[in-house]
Amino acid sequence: MTRDRKEPAVTEPKNSVHAFLNTGSGTFRTADLDAVKDHIQQALADHYDAVTFHVGDGKALIDDMEKTARSEDFAVLLAGGGDGTVSAAAEFAWKHDKILAVIPGGTMNLFARSLAMPLDLDAAIDALGHSQMRAYDIATANGRPFVHQMSIGLHPRMIRKRDRLTYGSRFGKMAASLKAFWRTIARMPLYQLTLSIDGTPETCKLSALSISNNLFGGTTPPFAEQPDGGRLGVYMVGRMNRQKALKLGADLLLGQTHDNPDLTIRAARKVEISMTSRKKPAKCVQDGELLPLEDKVTIELHPKSLRVLSAKTD
């Protein structure tokens, strides 16, 4: 872990930026970090008094991010990395009243897409210099924040299988995901649960359930095109065979999920999940991270409570 200051100061300027660059992500693993730092400083120089860089990967970087957000007085928490890094930064920014900024550096970069950030590294840094502060929505599952989605069933099982495979690049990760999806749909999970959507309960058996922070658009990959839409997206898939699962997977790749007959889509402000029957502990996925699935999960939307530097113009 390295920390470099643009210029030393006894007191941290409040109108300053702490930038966390994850060298474990594909983009920053191979980037010229000195050039990246210089570019970030130039892009932000007209708006902020100082930039402090934190460079590292894994848990050490996230721990440093949390400690810094909690203990230091500054304006912007900048996350350079993949969806996991960005999700952690969003959590700490929301909890500690910072402005979130994002430089996409991962495989999917889903929340960065919602912010209309360019996926090219240099273009994204340039966009930061012209971004506007917006107030966007954030969601929580049992109090744990997320900016993209929380999933049960097919998605976490696929992630578990993918993580058992070896891959060393962004394209390798995509190939591993396809292989894991094929293996998962050979024996689809099925959960019995009670799902309460804005106070209306229903009992159902589902192979896949995803709750998104705002409804997805017809995009590939799926992401929320309106990050201040004020509604959770509820995506439900019942019992499926392999053929139907392949059709759903193809529709996801083509951005045509709204036309899939096996996918039910609802909008909500609050969703409560009660697992009524399972033989062994299960997992969920929250913004790409595998977590234990609790017996009862309450998912709530917090409208326009996350301040973000966004490149969106509408």
Measured CA to CA, the distance from residue 245 to residue 162 in angstroms comes to 17
**The pLDDT of residue 253 is above 70:** yes
Fold of 149-305: Tumour Suppressor Smad4 (2.60.200)
Query: By 3-state DSSP, what share of the chain in percent is helix, strand and coil, each rounded to 5?
Result: 30, 35, 35
- Determine the pLDDT at residue 9: 41
Does residue 10 carry a pLDDT above 90? no
Give pLDDT tens digits for 90-106.
999 999 999 999 999 99
The answer to whether domain 2-130 and domain 149-305 are alike in fold is no
Band (pLDDT 50/70/90 cuts) for residue 12 is: low
> Mean pLDDT for the chain?
92
* Whole-angstrom distance, CA of residue 185 vs CA of residue 285: 17
Q: For domain 2-130, which architecture applies?
A: 3-Layer(aba) Sandwich (3.40)
Residue 73 has a CB neighbour count (10 Å cut-off) of 11
Domain ranges of the chain: 2-130, 149-305
Q: Quick check: 11 pLDDT over 80?
A: no
Whole-model pTM over 0.85: yes
Q: Which residue has the higher pLDDT, 280 or 45?
A: 45
Confidence of residue 173 (pLDDT cuts 50, 70, 90): confident
Cα gap 50→34, rounded to integer Å: 16
pLDDT(3) > 60: no
Q: Determine the angle formed by the axes of helices 33-44 and 121-128, rounding to 10 degrees.
A: 20
